[in-house]
Amino acid sequence: MKKYICIVLILFLSSCVRNDRNKLIITEFNKKIVDTLHPYNKSYTAYNINIKGYINDSIRIGFGPDSYSFYFVGEIDEKLIFDYYGQFERLFIFDPYKATEGRLEIKYGLY
């Protein structure tokens, strides 16, 4: 019985976690990162991405397999803001592209 209660509690708590924002600290540039943001309310107006750090070569930031990509290189301190009015999921794609070393802090979310 205790095991059943623990499982139900874990499932409940995991469903309460906000999944409309995320933060990444990237120090290894050997694989792509794809994350999906799930809206949990109806009052969003923007999709923000804040990027800070440095890299030795270019990276790509995208929002879907066929979307336009943004390229960054060197020292980065950028904020990207896009309109967002729907209740649809948004993708975040980090591609290390040509970068092999550096350190990036990326915060992104629906606001």
Please, what are the domains in the chain? 19-110 (2.60.120.290)
Contact of 36 with 47, CB cutoff 8 Å: no
Which of 69, 61, 68 has its CA nearest to residue 95? 61
Cβ–Cβ < 8 Å for 66, 19: no
Token pair, residue 25, equals 């600290």
Q: Give the whole-angstrom CA distance, residue 49 versus residue 33.
A: 15
Token code pair at residue 19: 């999944």
- Per-residue pLDDT of the chain (111 residues), as tens digits, is 555 454 444 444 444 556 889 999 999 999 999 999 999 887 889 999 999 999 999 999 998 777 889 999 999 999 999 998 877 889 999 999 999 999 999 999 999
The pTM of the full predicted model, rounded to 2 decimals, is 0.80
